[in-house]
Amino acid sequence: MNISFADISLAKPGALAVLVTEGATLRGAAADLDGKTGGSLKRAMKAAGFSGKSGSVLEVAGARGVAAGRVLLVGLGKSADLSAAGMEKAGGELIGRIEKMKETSLSIVLDGISAAKLPAGEAAARIAFGARLRSYRFDKYKTKKKSDETKTGLKSLTVMTRAAASARKDYATLSKIADGMFLTRDLVNEPPNVLFPGEFAKRARALSKLGVKVEVLGEAQMKKLGMGALLGVGYGSQHESQLVVMRWTGGKAGEKPVAFVGKGVCFDTGGISLKPPAGMEDMKGDMGGAACVTGLMHALAARKAKVNAVGVIGLVENMPDGKAQRPGDIVTSMSGQTIEIINTDAEGRLVLADALWYTQNRFKPKFMVDLATLTGAIMVALGKEYAGLFSNNDKLSKQLSEAGEAESEKVWRLPMGAAYDKQIDSQFADMKNTGGRDGGSITAAQFLERFVNKTTWAHLDIAGTAMASPKTAINQSWGSGWGVRLLNRLVADHYEA
């Protein structure tokens, strides 16, 4: 879909959408349009009881005096409540409706609408951003498509505004973020027979085209580094485990980087502690954390972020096999700490243990944020609306919470404390890899904290937000792309030069 911005014009073929705030009379271009149609818009509004409430749409087909085949009046809600998220929602909902109409072009008129906290240019850019996010499809493996999927589809979107120049500038950045989100969605949606660790690493290498320096460590290198925790998870797989390091140097030379670490279990059977068959196919998404980090690095590099950033992802496959690790095994992590394996399905924290230690040890970052589809317990606590936030630093936690609110990717901070450490103490090793059902998400975070070595750190448990995501106005995909917007905002607001 080609997206462009233009000055106000009503002489456009295809569909024409006019945005209307609740309770307001038609103003600006909308009033002009009503005049050209001989007042048909106002008559239609009155007949249908259309008042501009958020999410409402009124279609006027075959209106005289305009080139458009159909005119859509789109409600935005009250002017005082207008926000970036609301504009994105409007853009997404419009695309969803237009797709059912078999229109190939859509023009959206944004005129006569004011919002104190949202400049006209940004409002137009956010509408286009929402439309772009809604347009995502992952149907590459469908060879026989249903009749309703074979329609031509929307080819062009023009957002008409009196602030076209600033809208283009704002959207130029947002489009790069959308690209990163689409990469994340693609990775999460791919089947596990296609996206095994080596293939994932290959796709991460493609970021080198954007200026990202990418290194891939194989099992021999990780063994030499002493990464017994990560390597143990992949013993049962025919695919070699990988550690991918992505570096973007857009900041000052020598300045400490910010770091993001992702769990990349490309498929998780649970290993010897085998999961139940029902729903196991969803475990292709157990690499959602690594997918987010990869998409984020794409977004930062594509928009030339003025920051030094590191992305580290541990890529493994957790399979049952004669070589697979067993409950009762004891492994030695890169940090030198030993771990008793109680349950081989508590594998993500083992991957992160070595990835976190490696990151803090090599790069000495300003902070580390790790992302992982780590526990089912976080969905019991928070559902699919929030990701769980755990941290050793109040300032970083506040920054993440604020970024989440701004980008509609919300996080909720949960407690940590020494009392929970007792649940992961082991009589045979320094710790065990699970502390039982009680406080399962918290004890997983307590485990990870032992590998950050006093670095400022936050852990995001994204089991409920990265995959099998609820369908929304801006996402109809199984993989959501969650986290790219949140972390990009964190960097942009607080860590860029």
Q: Which residues are catalytic?
A: 275, 349
Chain-centroid distance, C-alpha 383: 17
Both tokens assigned to 231: 């390597």
Residue 225, amino acid: L
Contact between residue 305 and residue 224 where contact means Cβ atoms under 8 Å apart: no
Closest Cα to residue 301, out of 132, 486, 130, 488?
A: 488
DSSP 26: P
SS3 of 318, please?
strand
Residue type, 317: E
The amino acid sitting at 38 is G
CA distances from 239 to 265, 268, 281, 431, 444 (A): 12, 13, 18, 28, 26
**Pairing outcome for strands 431-432 and 457-461:** unpaired
Q: H or E element: which one contains 368?
A: strand 368-372
Q: How many other C-beta atoms are found inside a 10 Å radius of the C-beta of residue 116? A: 8
Which segments of 62-153 are extended strands (E)? 70-75, 105-110
Which residue shows structure tokens 């030499």? 224
Do 373 and 467 meet the contact criterion of CB atoms below 8 Å apart? yes
Query: Tokens 């009881």 correspond to what residue?
Result: 49
